[in-house]
């Protein structure tokens, strides 16, 4: 019989305590910022019927990247590859009961069958933030402002990232009225532009010409003008005068009033998923060591209506856990995280009962205490606490029990205190 392998499934991660501390640090920041904007947490099943994803997420996600299987009831189901269709289903189920605008968030794990690489895993965690029932640009501004607030909550500065913004209405106008593409050509061009930074310029040009077909010569000239537009003012006149451009300008005005400074208009920003209907945005890391999109989102007004309910507008975004950790690491923003255990209690001699009573007292007063009655030498136990990043070691022996004074060692500072139990609580909580 062969031995089982100890490595996790390809594209997934094991989270030992030190990795889980980093993940929880990110999650806690996400939760705090989302709730500060009035968003409330929800939960959802890990498995959905496959139809939930094939309807609007796009064939690549539904057919190529989704983990599908037949359950024992003969139903084709999938492990969720994203949350947007699920939360849309939930809103549709309570369409008449929810108070609008409905602000919802979740922190959950997902799976996609794709090639693992830096910042991209088959199992991944995301914050999902969505606002339902607000048709105005104000909702789009709020979600981007929240994205900016999340970045700032980790200590990031405006120079550490850039928020690129576009609008699907503008994209659709550009495809049909400026480039002269039909619906099929437009979809192909949107997918191509979405992959532009992942392929060579020659491959991009060849595929663009193929999409234009007989009009490739004129089409490439028009496309080049779009790609060279750095601001809305650089766009061709017929595009600048569209209502979609005015909507983008209104959005930028609202964001500037909200003091969001890391904004850039990017006519090539597509967001590959098919369900977007309005504003789209992505947050990019500016560090050359991690030059990539961190996360994004946009408006998707048509999704709730697919579940048999009246249509309702929606705007959302989804930061990913691993990409966020990579961002914090390259910018030196990940703090040194100590153990969730506050005190490693060392039992010296035959005082286990008294040590347990002291540990219970400390726990009742809000401290996390592990008791070690193994009898190992104190120096060895200090090393264990140090390896686990436990900040304090407390020694309990017969002399300490008799005197009522206990030796509390601050591992980080290598400082010892002779203290009463009540003083232990104040010292540890103050730190």
Parallel, antiparallel or unpaired: strands 343-347 and 392-396 = parallel
For the residues 300-321, what does the mean pLDDT come to?
93
Specify the pLDDT at position 198: 84
**pLDDT above 90 as % of the chain:** 73
Per residue in 224-237, pLDDT tens? 988 988 888 888 88
Say if residue 112's pLDDT is above 80: yes
The CA distances from residue 178 to 135, 193, 194, in Å, are 27, 16, 18
Residue 280 is predicted with a pLDDT of 95
Structure tokens at 412: 């980080």
State pLDDT tens for residues 45-67.
Answer: 999 999 888 876 555 566 788 99
pLDDT for residue 292 is more than 70: yes
Q: Distance from CA of residue 9 to its chain's centroid?
A: 22
Q: What pLDDT shows up at residue 58? A: 54
Give, as one character, the DSSP assignment of residue 232: G
Q: Look-up: residue for tokens 């010892």?
A: 416
Q: Kindly state the helix (H) or strand (E) to which residue 305 belongs, with its residue range.
A: none
Architecture of domain 343-430: 3-Layer(aba) Sandwich (3.40)
Instruction: State the CB neighbour count (10 A cutoff) for residue 155.
Output: 14
Q: Say if residues 343 and 396 touch (Cβ distance below 8 Å).
A: no
Between CA 130 and CA 318 the distance in angstroms is 9
| Nearest in space to 112 (alpha carbons), one of 48, 61, 52, 47 | 61
What architecture is domain 17-330?
A: 2-Layer Sandwich (3.30)
d(Cα 126, Cα 108) in Å, to the nearest integer? Answer: 6
Ranges of each domain in the chain: 17-330, 343-430
Query: What are the backbone dihedrals phi and psi of residue 238, each rounded to the nearest 5 degrees, phi first?
Result: -65, -25
The tokens of 284 are what?
Answer: 């990019």
Q: pLDDT value at position 44? A: 98
Strands 68-70 and 415-419: unpaired
Please give the pLDDT value at position 3. 84
Over residues 61-75, mean pLDDT: 87
pLDDT, tens digit, 9 for 90 and up, residues 178-220: 999 999 999 899 889 988 888 999 999 999 999 999 999 999 9
Residue 29 clears pLDDT 80, i.e. is over it: yes
Give the pLDDT score at 56: 63
DSSP string, 207-256: HHHHHHGGGHHHHHHHHHHHHT--SGGGS-HHHHTSHHHHHHHHHHHHHH
Computed over every residue of the chain, the mean pLDDT equals 92
- Report the alpha-carbon distance of residue 138 to residue 57 in Å, rounded: 25
Mean pLDDT of 75-91: 94
Q: Which pLDDT does position 156 carry in this prediction?
A: 98
**Sheet strands side by side (includes 406-410):** 369-372, 343-347, 392-396, 406-410, 415-419
> Does residue 175 have a pLDDT over 60?
yes
pLDDT at 243 over 60: yes
In this prediction, residues 118-145 reach a mean pLDDT of: 95
With bands split at pLDDT 50, 70 and 90, how would you rate the model's confidence at 396?
Answer: very high
pLDDT at 367: 97
Q: Is the separation of the CB atoms in 42 and 364 below 8 Å?
A: no
């Amino acid at each position: 019989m062969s031995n089982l392998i100890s490595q996790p499934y390809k594209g997934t991660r094991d989270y030992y305590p030190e990795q889980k501390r980093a993940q929880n640090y990110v999650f806690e920041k996400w939760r705090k910022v989302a709730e500060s904007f009035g968003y409330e947490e929800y939960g959802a099943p890990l498995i959905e019927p496959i139809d939930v994803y094939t309807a609007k997420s796009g064939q690549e996600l539904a057919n190529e990247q989704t983990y599908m299987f037949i359950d024992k009831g003969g139903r084709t189901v999938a492990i969720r590859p994203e949350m947007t269709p699920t939360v849309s289903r939930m809103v549709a189920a309570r369409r008449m009961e929810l108070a609008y605008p409905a602000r919802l968030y979740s922190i959950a794990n997902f799976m996609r069958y794709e090639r693992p690489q830096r910042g991209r895993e088959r199992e991944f965690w995301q914050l999902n933030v969505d606002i339902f029932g607000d048709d105005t640009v104000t909702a789009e501004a709020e979600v981007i402002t929240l994205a900016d607030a999340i970045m700032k909550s980790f200590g990031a500065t405006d120079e550490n990232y850039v928020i690129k913004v576009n609008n699907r209405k503008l994209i659709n106008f550009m495809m049909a009225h400026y480039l002269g593409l039909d619906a099929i050509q437009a979809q192909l061009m949107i997918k191509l532009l979405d992959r532009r930074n992942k392929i060579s310029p020659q491959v991009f040009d060849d595929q663009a010409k193929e999409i234009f077909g007989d009009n490739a010569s004129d089409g490439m000239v028009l496309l080049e003008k779009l790609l060279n537009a750095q601001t809305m003012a650089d766009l061709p006149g017929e595009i600048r005068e569209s209502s979609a451009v005015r909507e983008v300008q209104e959005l930028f005005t609202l964001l500037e009033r909200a003091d969001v400074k890391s904004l850039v208009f990017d006519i090539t920003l597509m967001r590959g998923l098919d369900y977007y209907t309005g504003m789209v945005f992505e947050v990019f890391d500016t560090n050359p060591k991690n030059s990539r999109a961190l996360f994004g989102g946009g408006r998707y007004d048509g999704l709730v209506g697919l579940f048999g309910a009246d249509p309702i507008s929606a705007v959302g975004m989804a930061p990913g856990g691993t990409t966020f950790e990579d961002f914090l690491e390259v910018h030196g923003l990940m703090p040194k995280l100590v153990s969730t255990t506050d005190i490693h209690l060392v039992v010296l001699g035959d005082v286990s009962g008294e040590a347990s009573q002291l540990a219970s007292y400390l726990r009742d007063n809000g401290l996390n205490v592990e008791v070690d009655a193994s009898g190992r030498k104190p120096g060895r136990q200090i090393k264990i606490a140090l390896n686990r990043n436990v900040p304090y070691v407390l020694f309990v022996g017969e002399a300490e029990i008799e005197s009522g004074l206990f030796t509390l060692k601050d591992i980080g500072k290598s400082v010892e205190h002779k203290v009463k139990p009540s003083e232990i609580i104040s010292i540890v909580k103050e730190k």
